[in-house]
Structure 1
């Protein structure tokens, strides 16, 4: 969820250090060697839910500045949660580098997380005491002429004062031109698409990249009112038809707050040589075998509270969405007759867009480029399990 910030931070730190040293070197050729320990830092992040909601721990390593990727996922690790009474709970690896936890465990105990890498290296968290997160009192949205603001209201208490929010967005994605037809080479004719062949309704999903923090004791009665979760600019594709956001609220302790605040300042302070160094962005993970081994990350535990809301286009109209990648998308004017179906539609790059009828008989189809009519080129045709229609 936040590893992108961690990875960007370390690449930024190394780049700034190299740039600064380059200035000191004046005009002399400068070809610095960055120590491998700096370019390959273990990064661990996760919030493990203690009431059985599937949650995840992500483990990766930073990569050299000249790498084409921002991180290298760590696969094949063995991750175990140990209770203070010795009970062990194993995480299972789902996608590469993502370790899943779905156990209902007591919140009144203390835990530690042990990570054992394939090569034998061992890392352990400091003791963690889960926090029971208060409910999200309300989630909603407001619109002005420039944007839609999604917000939450919540209330802290004596054990849950600091909050971290994350969110996942999903929305309907449509192509510019919709067609219900497909050319079937087995019958050498055009027919109606089946439900499984549908290309006019797709879904896009994204996880948030930001760090959203708040301390409830800053407010009267610890009520956090209308905390902005995200803003959607007017005309953005996310509300071209129907949009959903799942907001996760997580109570965190003071040490976790310091970690995320430091990381947030660093990622927002691009360009400063006074940004925190790797040794200053540590977290609660340590190497068991060599204290000098660099490792960065924060693992928290507690009860995650969630709220999902939907926003329809009709709720925010006028919206004015228009996707520039569909510019010049029109249905062709040259009718494709039956003898030409194979030649025109056979490759799949051009689709039958709209029929032409004489009486009750279809005599041909007007063509449309696939890029204009097939949403599966840009999104998933699979309806999410949680999706609800109006």
Structure 2
């Protein structure tokens, strides 16, 4: 049994951020009903081009990633006839999850007080761009603006002298991270309600999540009064540690070493690269010596590692004591044997999708595909007790798909 089985979530949200939070809840076993506009649906369904990729037909990863395992109901909340359906769904839900801006929440009668008047015990969760307070609380935004650009990640990755900023690596990068934060907050609120009977309003923003991801660097920058600036391209990562940085292999791949205690691992690295004599070299005898002679050690390792391909180093470094990793692209990561061994990528319908990162009892979630637009409308309406005569009347009124 998954931990949130029996929990009902009503999702009134669009695009990637908040729906990805609903996807995590679905991964954990919740019954997530996704309300989409009765005619146009979630605008994310229309996004077919992302970067250099263009997806024709279905399945569309742009909608599948953040909506797997849900049920879709087409509802036009601007129609007065839709109110009985909306209220019926709210009445039986444990969680109300929304990405709508404050003005839209007020217009559709789905703000906190509106929803609590129908179901006082519901957990009300909202995702925003810039947070629920302050002069800009009513403004919208996307992960590329609030998470990536405004919360300092872009500037912290963009090398000096580069015009503009480094763009996010993939679509919905900040959305997915923020959605996972939102799902965790909802789970905590459900736990609190279970223990105390008291309910909560859960807020997560793209801006807050971006700052949290940058938390270590921002704390240092505020302490020292200096922005975080990346090293120039090609520079070794640490001026005082040869075992923290990138090394190119003979086949133009890269290996990342992150050994924060270089003296502890230096001799082992020397043995694994067939240069055991370097372990006794007085230039590298202690941590202080390694720090003082990092440039020389880096030059030696670059030459040695650059003489063999990644596959050979991967075999040799299987017994290396210190942390290291191959630098992989998205295809290579998706094919990684360790990724597959842990079921971090699983099948959901016709697609393979990345599972949400939390596992329970050493098992991957059982993912279902994202629903087709409004596919479960009649099913959900019948669960609310509406008969076919009433359902047809709602369809004729344009309230439901």
Fold shared, TM-score > 0.5 on shorter chain:
no
| TM-score (structure 2 length as normaliser) | 0.26
Task: Name whichever structure is richer in strand by fraction.
Answer: 1
| TM-score (structure 1 length as normaliser) | 0.26
Task: Name whichever structure is richer in helix by fraction.
Answer: 2
